[in-house]
Chains A and B, each alone.
Chain A
Amino acid sequence: MRQSAGIVSIAARQFRTGPLPGASVTRGEWAALSRDLASGSLDLLSLWADRGGVLMALLHQGSRRIGIARLVVRDRAFPSVGLVHAPAQRLERAAAELFGLAAEGATDSRPWLDHGRWGLRHPLAGKAGATPAEAPTEPMPDAVAADYPFLPVHGDSLHQVAVGPVHAGTIEPGHFRFTVQGETVVRLEARLGYTHKGTDALMTGATVARGAELAGRTSGDSTVAYAWAFAQAVEAALAAPVPARAFWLRALMAELERLANHLGDVGAICNDAAFAMMLAQCSVLREQVLRACDRCFGHRMMRDCVVPGGVARDLDGDAHGVLRNLLETIRDALPALTALYDGTASLLDRTVGTGRLDPALARRFGAGGYVGRASGRDFDTRRDLPYAPYDMLKLEVPRRSDGDVNARVWIRIEEIGQSLSLISQILAQMPQGPVRADLPAADEPCEGLGLVEGFRGDVLISVALDGDGRIARCHMRDPSWFQWPLLEAVIEGNIIADFPLCNKSFNCSYSGHDL
């Protein structure tokens, strides 16, 4: 019997239209929830801290209910969830170092985002807990960072390969420590945090408008998903009315964003197997999507187009034609590209069987997006925790269980088809009317939750507003938090030369994770 039924009882309709009810839990209940996570009866949606305590967002997949548990922290310590449920470990390490808390019993208490270069510790703890050294205003290029003890590895004929933070390609920075036997990877340990910009601190005290800009700059490839999740959270906290047409325009943008990313990545994955032709063909389609977005919304990536209260601008008279042409172009091109992928034995030789993610691990980590769906996890917030207008659209969620690079490519190809269908449906059914409404004023502190299916998976944003309508705390959880650890698992037993393929087929966000 699940002990958490009382806490994890919020239906999508409830948290998507109104403020979150605060559920304060005891230490005993906190521990019981940890056990429910460990036993697999609950999925962890996120874990974070604020100045009063630690919080967990939880999902019960069977009943499609969520819950937020808040534990008031005394003596700056809370019982570790990561001790029994590994997916919580990195979130816990980040929460602990940002707020100066200790996770009692945690097996891994190494700092995570804090590389010892900030010039201060516990930056979000406030006056009570922050211990500022001489707070620098400039980055310290010559600062020597504290040693970071990678996990020890023992065995015969092992050597280590250290890669990053600066990588060979035009990608984001992170460090990968491979332990290799011959060509075979026996362990990968990632070290992240290089792009940590202090987004949480920038959010604290910011206006809602500023917060929306920051959210849209958290992970550039998902700017629409982030802006939408942030808007959802603020609108729910204020129980704000949003014009119906705005929801449809947001979904239009979100599907265009998904289309652009999937097209780009399918090409890039093939390019990492030295099959450049797919990259060339797919990058043409991606560019055409971005140009259509630019034409319709005034920005290639549609940055700052979703705002709390609605959207920043409506489509003009020609936009429907532009988008219909785009759909036709992609629909015409796609079958040949799919056939090219599926008919090139030398390419499939690299993708089939490579980087296999065990469905049990995908389930345990609550892996979102194509990473989870290629390994049997049947979850999509658009369908399972529905939000307008997806509750009015026909959507099929593709799923496979083979879990390799090839499966992730196929999930993306099928999702391209779904996005094309959704865009057609949106263009045909979108209601007329206003696209933006003023937000009601906040007269007391309130909290709201946003949960949006970005191309990479579910983006969660929790916003707490103070009585003046400013942001008291904003926590953003990128889907990558639960995917990065799985990348370490899938590379095991593969050759090191296949790492780029595995990595690109996950395409985790560094910036979205590092904040």
Chain B
Amino acid sequence: MRKLLIEGLIRRPLTEPAPKPDDAALDALGRRVGAALHRRLGRSLAIRMVDAGSCNGCELEINALGNPFYDLERFGLRFVASPRHADVLMVTGPVTHNMAEALRRSWDAVPEPRWVVAVVAAVLPVDLHIAGCPPRPAALLEGLLALLEHAAAGTAAR
């Protein structure tokens, strides 16, 4: 274990620079997300992920955001265990009949202000769509950074 730890200290980090927030996502967000996000939350966003019937491909790539190459938490973005701790509900899958109630109850448990990021799904009012089957981790990151960036710009304009 010591060898691995020392390697971790002296080796160049694997973590890659942040991708540029996706322009299309930024435009789309203009209609949805106000300045509230930045004012209330700074650059910190807590995300609750709900699988509403995906094939589990999206979950694998969302989990990959935590690996050292993407290191999601350096941006102040983190996945939380309960919707009550969340600012953002990230939804995957087509929203099956059998999951619709659980998804609605998860959404109801998220305190205001709150946002929906859809990785395909659409029964809730969606603030940001991230496309792909499944989207690459870089695309997920671009979309989430757009959410942060847009909020920051909104604050500057006020």
Contact = CB atoms under 8 A, between A and B. Distances in A.
Contacts of B67: 280, 283-284, 286-287
Given A168-B81, A172-B54, A280 B100 contact: no
Contact count band on A:
35 or more
Interface in B92-133: 93-104, 106, 123, 133
Nearest to B109: A166
B9 interface: no
A193 B97 CA distance: 10
Given A165-B102, A194-B102, A336-B4, A117 B97 contact: yes
B109 to A, nearest CB: 9
A140 B1 contact: no
Given A141-B100, A195-B54, A336-B4, A284 B60 contact: no
Contacts of A115: 97-98
Contacts of B64: 283, 286-287, 290
B88 to A, nearest CB: 13
Nearest to B123: A139
Given A140-B97, A166-B50, A168-B81, A284 B69 contact: yes
Contacts of A510: 56
Interface string B55-66: 111111111101
B121 to A, nearest CB: 10
A511 interface: yes
Interface in A320-361: 336, 340, 343-344
Contacts of B143: none
Interface stretch (A72-80, A89-97, A215-223, A401-409): A215-223
B146 interface: no
A142 B4 contact: no
Contacts of A286: 64, 67
B97 A284 contact: no
Contact of B100 (A140, A197, A220, A223): A140
B58 A220 contact: yes
Interface residues of B, number: 45
B1 to A, nearest CB: 6
Contact of B56 (A140, A343, A511): A511
A69 to B, nearest CB: 31
Contacts of A138: 123
A267 to B, nearest CB: 9
B59 A193 contact: no
A143 interface: yes
Given A281-B4, A283-B68, A139 B100 contact: yes
B103 to A, nearest CB: 7
A266 interface: no
Nearest to A138: B123
Interface string A160-201: 000001101111110000000000000000000111110000
B134 A220 contact: yes
B3 to A, nearest CB: 7
A172 B51 CA distance: 6
A269 to B, nearest CB: 14
Interface of A: 113, 115, 117-119, 136, 138-145, 165-166, 168-173, 193-197, 217-221, 223, 264, 277, 280-281, 283-284, 286-287, 290, 300-301, 303, 336, 340, 343-344, 509-511, 514
11 contacts: A139-B96, A142-B104, A145-B101, A165-B99, A166-B50, A168-B82, A173-B52, A195-B51, A217-B55, A220-B54, A286-B64
Given A221-B56, A280-B68, 10 more contacts: A138-B123, A139-B97, A166-B50, A170-B62, A194-B102, A195-B54, A217-B57, A219-B55, A286-B64, A301-B134
